[in-house]
């Protein structure tokens, strides 16, 4: 039996390219593809692949979020797929298998696959998982600790850990932090990208929440849900995001 391999990338063309590059290798068995982080977490937990080709930059949950949700101790070896050298360098230095840069170079891809084969050996798994844990620490420390917000012509700097939740309000977003609310002229999607989504998740198309602030997730009769924050705030949870959020919340709880 070959290495059971999962392909994770939000770009269909990239998934097809990876599949094509793997097609010529008899020892690779592709067991599935995922187009987002939440689906990847579910597939890794359910199918236990031997190897994952994992895109780093994905909306809502990036590649680091996938590893964090699954847990480095349970994560299979990873070949990171990225268009960003700064992420790739961190992954390589952490010995988290290897990386390939977009657009894919056939020779470089083959070298990454060869290294992945060695890392999938049972004797190497402990080192690989230690590398993944190190990568999570590096990724978190390399992300900006503070978030600069332009509020009424002045710049306000908030530590990301201070932020409780964020909601869209027309052409603005309202950032709720420690009992204060900051109204910022910025799209929610743009702010989500600046937060890198390490600890922030969509709970509704118009709201983000800091996972560290969540006390409880409650189902509602219509299939949606409700989130209770530690400060008593109640937020609506869309059924679109409910399963993934419950899974992540259980994993970090």
Please, which pLDDT band fits residue 147 given cuts at 50, 70 and 90?
A: confident
Q: What is the pLDDT of residue 245?
A: 82
pLDDT higher than 80, residue 78: yes
Please, which pLDDT band fits residue 151 given cuts at 50, 70 and 90?
A: confident
Task: Please give the average per-residue pLDDT across 230-236, as a whole number.
Answer: 93
Compare 84 and 53 and report the one with higher pLDDT.
53
Cα 192 to Cα 59, 100, 136, 170, 209, distances in angstroms: 9, 25, 19, 16, 10
Cα–Cα distance between 187 and 118 in angstroms, integer?
A: 44
Q: What is the pLDDT of residue 23?
A: 93
pLDDT higher than 70, residue 85: no
Please, which pLDDT band fits residue 223 given cuts at 50, 70 and 90?
A: confident
pLDDT higher than 80, residue 250: no
Q: First-to-last CA distance in the chain?
A: 36
pLDDT higher than 60, residue 184: yes
Compare 249 and 251 and report the one with higher pLDDT.
249
Per DSSP, helices labelled H in 10-96 are 12-22, 37-47, 63-70, 85-93
Neighbours of 142 (CB within 10 A): 12
In three state form, how does the secondary structure of 137-168 look?
Answer: HHHHHHCCCEEEEEECCEEEEEEHHHEEEEEE
Please, which pLDDT band fits residue 141 given cuts at 50, 70 and 90?
A: low
- Of 219, 250, 252, 216, the residue nearest 233 (C-alpha): 216
Cα–Cα distance between 182 and 69 in angstroms, integer?
A: 30
Which single residue is written with the structure tokens 């094509």?
20
- Percent pLDDT > 90 in the chain is 42
Q: What is the pLDDT of residue 22?
A: 96
Domains belonging to the chain, first-starting first, are 3-142 (3.40.50.2300), 146-252 (2.40.50.1020)
Cα–Cα distance between 77 and 4 in angstroms, integer?
A: 11
Please, which pLDDT band fits residue 154 given cuts at 50, 70 and 90?
A: confident
Residue 221 phi, psi (nearest 5): -65, -30
Q: Which of 57-66, 212-221, 228-237, 244-253 has the lowest mean pLDDT?
A: 244-253
pLDDT higher than 60, residue 91: no
Q: What is the pLDDT of residue 65?
A: 81
pLDDT in tens, 96-117: 567 888 888 899 999 999 999 9
- How large is the angle between the packed helices 239-252 and 63-70, nearest 10 degrees? 60
Q: What is the CA radius of gyration of the chain?
A: 19
pTM given for the model: 0.59
pLDDT higher than 80, residue 153: no
Q: What is the pLDDT of residue 164?
A: 94
Task: Please give the average per-residue pLDDT across 123-140, as a whole number.
Answer: 80
Chain mean position to CA 187: 20
- Of 62, 50, 59, 6, the residue nearest 32 (C-alpha): 6
Summary mean pLDDT of the chain: 85
Residues whose CB is less than 8 angstroms from the CB of residue 24 and which lie 6 or more positions away in sequence, other chains included: none
């Amino acid at each position: 039996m070959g290495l059971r391999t999962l392909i994770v990338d939000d770009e269909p063309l990239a998934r097809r390219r990876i599949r094509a590059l793997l097609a010529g290798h008899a020892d690779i068995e592709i067991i599935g593809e995922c187009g987002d982080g939440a689906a990847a977490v579910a597939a890794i937990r359910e199918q236990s692949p031997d190897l994952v080709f994992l895109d780093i930059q994905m909306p809502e949950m990036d590649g680091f979020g996938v590893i964090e949700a699954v847990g480095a101790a349970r994560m299979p070896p990873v070949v990171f797929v990225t268009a960003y050298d700064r992420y790739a360098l961190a992954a390589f230095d952490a010995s988290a298998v290897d990386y390939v840069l977009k657009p894919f170079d056939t020779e470089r891809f083959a070298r990454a696959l060869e290294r992945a084969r060695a890392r999938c050996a049972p004797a190497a798994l402990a080192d690989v998982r230690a590398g993944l844990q190190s990568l999570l620490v590096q990724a978190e420390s390399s992300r900006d600790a503070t978030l600069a917000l332009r509020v009424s012509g002045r710049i306000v700097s908030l530590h990301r850990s201070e932020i409780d939740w964020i909601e869209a309000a027309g052409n603005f977003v309202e950032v709720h932090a420690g009992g204060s609310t900051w109204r910022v002229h910025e799209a929610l999607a743009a702010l989500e990208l600046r937060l890198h989504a390490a600890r922030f998740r969509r709970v509704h198309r118009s709201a983000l929440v800091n996972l560290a602030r969540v006390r409880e997730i409650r189902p509602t009769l219509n299939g949606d849900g409700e989130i209770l924050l530690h400060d008593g705030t109640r937020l609506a949870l869309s059924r679109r995001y409910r399963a993934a959020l419950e899974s992540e919340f259980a994993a970090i709880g």
